[in-house]
Amino acid sequence: MTADTENITTSAPRKYLFSKGIDGYFSDVYKAYKFTGRFFKEVFKTPWHFGEVINQSFEVGLRSLSLITVTGFIIGVVFTKQSRPSLEDFGAASWLPSLMGIAIIRALGPLVTALICAGKVGSSIGAELGSMKVTEQIDAMEVSAINPYKYLVATRVLATTITIPILSLYCIFVGLLGSYVNVHAEESTSFMIFYKNAFSTLNFLDVFTSLSKSLIFGFTIGMVGCYKGFHASQGTRGVGKAANQAVVLAMFLVFLEEVVIVQVSNWIRNY
């Protein structure tokens, strides 16, 4: 075999794998687009399965509540302790409640809540639907004249979209409470004065942006978890892969959406 022939035989599989990878990527993007678009068609059709939505909302909230409580409180305490020396250097320690209000309400509360839910709720949804997929339970639902997409996907996406903003508001409250504990220990500031100062520099756009981010994060986490679970394959190995991919992709999209929303809100604020 000549050197030219050897180069051809070794480069051909590489080109094939590269081409297959590109085709597979765009195919996945198209399937995700169709999967997401189908949600907006199915969610307005009867039956609406309100009982399942409430049940899934309860599962999402209860599964994440304890971790969000601990994490939010610690973030409030630690971020306040880290920010105090810098403000004291400029003689602006009195602005600490306002800084905490801006940081927690604008960014930390929704983002921390979304990341926690992506890890716990997203992986749970991906594993649950992936297990149903590989054991052919979803196919059995179709045979039984039950729409599996509406019962399994639409209900879970609605649950995350409704519940995660509520958890985000709770995380903001707990984070500010942790910040208050630290400020009160150092300066004996009253509860009412702290919260009055924390909200004094905020406006409607800040609150609206925070809630909007939470809604988008919740929708993304639910949709990614359902998509990965709904398209799981390769048996039990595929279930674990679906759960892992649901977490990684959901977190990546959450950070990407955070950047985009912050840029849009800053543009509106400066307009």
Residue 194 has pLDDT above 60, yes or no: yes
Question: Which one of 32-46, 158-172, 175-189 scores highest in mean pLDDT?
Answer: 158-172
Task: Calculate mean pLDDT across residues 110-134.
Answer: 92
What are the pLDDT digits (tens) for 51-62? Answer: 999 999 998 888
Measured distance CA(137)–CA(114) in Å, rounded: 29
Q: Where are the chain's structural domains?
A: 49-270
What torsion do the CA atoms of 123, 129, 135, 137 make, to the nearest 10 degrees? 160
Between residues 257 and 30, the one the model is more confident about = 257
Determine the 3-state secondary structure of 111 from DSSP. Answer: helix
Determine the 3-state secondary structure of 203 from DSSP. Answer: coil
Q: Report the pLDDT value the prediction gives residue 13, as an integer from 0 to 100.
A: 55
Between residues 202 and 163, the one the model is more confident about = 163
Helix (H) / strand (E) containing 244: helix 235-270
